[in-house]
Structure 1
Amino acid sequence: MSVDVAWARAELSSFLKLTELYTPESPRGVSVISSRRSTRGGAQEVVASAQVVEQILDRVVPRWRTEVPDDGNRRVNRWCQLREAAQRADAALLRDAEARERLGDNAPQLSASTMHSWVWDGARSLWHSGHFREAVTAAVRKVNAETQNKVGRRDASETALFQSVFSKDAPRAGQPRLRLRPDDGGDTFRSVQRGAAAFADGRYAALRNPNSHEDGLPELPEH
C-alpha cells in the first residue's frame, strides 16, 4: 500500500506545530523574566502525535534514527531529532512524486512493509539501522523457523525442509506438505510446487549461506 501523502503531511505538520517552542506570557500585572520555553502542545498530545509520526518516518525516511543528528539540542527541546526527521520526511513527500514524474521514472516503488509479516518482522529493526545484509539473513531465518512451526518439524530445516514441504509426493507421517494450489494432478500444480521448492532452494543458496558462512563481506546496498 502506498503512502497517503496528504494525510502523512498533515500529521507531520501537526506534530511540528505541537512541538514548536514558545515563551509563555506572564500573567497580567506580573513581570517574570525567564528563559524557560514550552512546547505548544501538552505532553500527552505531543506523545500521541509522535507515535504516529515515527511510523510515517519509518516508511518515508527509514534510517532517520541513525542519519538525523541526536545531539545536545535535546536539552533545549527533547523532540529536536524527531522534528528534523519530520521536516525531512515532509520535503521528501512533497518532492518525490514530482521528481519521479518530471524525471520520467514514475515506476511503482516496493514497500517492505507490504511483504509477508514473517519477512518484514524478521528484518525490520536491522533494516532501520542500515544493517541490510544482517536484515536479509534474519528474514530468511525467521521464514525457516516459522515454517518449522507451521508444519511441526524440527528434524529438517532450510533447503531440506522446503524440499520436503513442497514435494509433490503425498504427505506421510511426520512429513506434512504445503500446497500453493489444490492438487489436481495437473501440470500447473506440479509446476507451481516445483517452482516454490526451487525458489526456497535459491534463497538459502544465494542469500542465507554466503551471509552466514563468509566473514568480511561488504554491506549490501539498500536496493
Structure 2
Amino acid sequence: MTQLNKVWAIMEIELFLEITAQVRPQTAPGVAYLGTVMRGPSTEASERAYVVEQILDRTMPSWRSEKPAADKDFRWLRKQASRAKVALEREEELTQNLGDNSPEMDTSNLHPWVWGSIQSLWEGGHYQQAVRDAAIQVNAEAQKKLGRRDVSETDLFNQAFSLEDPKVGKPRLRLMDDDGSPTYQSIHRGARALAEGLYSGIRNPAMHTSHENTDDEEQIALEQLTAFSLLARWVDQATIVRV
C-alpha cells in the first residue's frame, strides 16, 4: 500500500472546508436574509465530503465512532476535517516533540540475573561486555539451580530442558506439567532452541568479534540482552524434576 500524499490530502481538505463554509448570501437591495448558507453547491460538497472521509479513515481511524446520525451542512465533518488537516500539517513536529507510540524498553525491567550482573557496564557504555557477562551469569545461575558444574552453556540447557526423564545427577527443568500434549513437547524444544541460539550464535562469536563503536551497537546489545533475559526468566520459573 502506498503512503498517503499529504500535500494532496491537505489540499482536498482545504477545498472541502472552502466549499462548505457558511457565508451570508448576496441579496438584492432592500432584501434582508437572516442566517447563512453554504458557500458551494450541495452536490459538490457531497462529492468532496466523500474524498475527505477517505482521508479521515487514514489519518484518524476512529473518527466514525462518534459520527452523528445527521450532520446538517457538514458541520460535524468540517470539525473532523480541520483536526485531520492539523494532524497532517504538524505530524513531523508532533512526532519530534511527543514521540511515537512504539513500546519502549526499560533495561531495569530485564530479569535480575541479567540486569543485576551488567548494570554498571551498561551505564558505562560497555555494551558488548555487558552481553558477554549476562550470558555468563545466566549460565552460572542455571548451573546453581540444577546443582551442576560438569556441563555449561548449550550442553547444560539441552540436558536441562530435555524431554527425557531425569537421571541421577541430571535433573530436568520443566516449564509445565507433562500432560502428554504436543504443547508440552514444543515448549521444551523451544527453550532448548533458544538457549542454543543464544550461546552458539551470540555468546561464542561475541568472544571473537565486536560491534563496538558502530552506530547500532547499543540497539543490537539491547536486543541480545532481551533474549538472555527471556531465557533467564524461563529457567528461574521452571520447576526442577529429579530422580
Question: Are 2:169 and 1:169 aligned?
Answer: no
C-alpha deviations, 1:151-172, integer Å up to 9, x for none? Answer: 0000000000000001011111
Change in Cα spacing, 1:130 to 1:104, as seen in structure 2 (3 Å) is: closer
Q: In 2, distance between residues paired with 1:175 and 1:108?
A: 40
Between 1 and 2, higher relative CO (CA 8 Å, sep ≥ 6) is seen in: 2
Give the structure 1 partner of residue 240 of structure 2: none
C-alpha deviations, 1:25-63, integer Å up to 9, x for none? Answer: xxxxxxxxxxxxxxxxxxxxxxxxxxxxxxxxxxxxxxx
Give the structure 2 partner of residue 122 of structure 1: 117
Contact 1:100 1:106 in 2 (8 A): no
Of residues 212, 215, 232, the one that matches 1:218 is: 212
- Which residue identity does 1:170 align to in structure 2? D
Q: In 2, distance between residues paired with 1:104 and 1:166?
A: 41
Deviation at 1:102, TM superposition (A): 5.7
C-alpha deviations, 1:119-145, integer Å up to 9, x for none? Answer: 111221110100000001100100000
Deviation at 1:178, TM superposition (A): 0.5
Give the structure 2 partner of residue 109 of structure 1: 104
Which runs of 5 or more structure 2 residues have no equivalent in the other structure?
A: 1-92, 220-243
- State the superposition RMSD in angstroms: 2.1
Give the structure 2 partner of residue 157 of structure 1: 152
What secondary structure does 2:148 align onto?
coil
Contact 2:211 2:217 in 1 (8 A): no
What is the TM-score with the length of structure 1 in the denominator?
0.52
- The 5 Å alignment of 1:48-67 reads none
Give the structure 2 partner of residue 82 of structure 1: none
Structure 1, 185-194 or 103-112: larger mean CA deviation: 103-112
Radius of gyration: which is bigger? Answer: 2
Change in Cα spacing, 1:99 to 1:153, as seen in structure 2 (3 Å) is: farther
Give the structure 2 partner of residue 192 of structure 1: 187
What secondary structure does 2:198 align onto?
helix
Give the structure 1 partner of residue 202 of structure 2: 207
- Which residue identity does 2:130 align to in structure 1? A
Deviating runs (4+, > 3 A) in structure 1? 98-104, 216-220
Identity of aligned residues (%): 48
- Which residue identity does 2:200 align to in structure 1? A
What is the TM-score with the length of structure 2 in the denominator?
0.48
What secondary structure does 1:178 align onto?
strand
Structure 1, 171-180 or 103-112: larger mean CA deviation: 103-112
What secondary structure does 2:174 align onto?
coil
Q: In 2, distance between residues paired with 1:134 and 1:109?
A: 23
Change in Cα spacing, 1:105 to 1:183, as seen in structure 2 (3 Å) is: same
Give the structure 2 partner of residue 75 of structure 1: none
- The 5 Å alignment of 1:47-86 reads none
Change in Cα spacing, 1:167 to 1:100, as seen in structure 2 (3 Å) is: farther
Which runs of 5 or more structure 1 residues have no equivalent in the other structure?
A: 1-97
- How many residue pairs match? The answer is 125
Change in Cα spacing, 1:100 to 1:193, as seen in structure 2 (3 Å) is: farther
Change in Cα spacing, 1:191 to 1:106, as seen in structure 2 (3 Å) is: same
- Which residue identity does 2:162 align to in structure 1? S
What secondary structure does 2:172 align onto?
coil
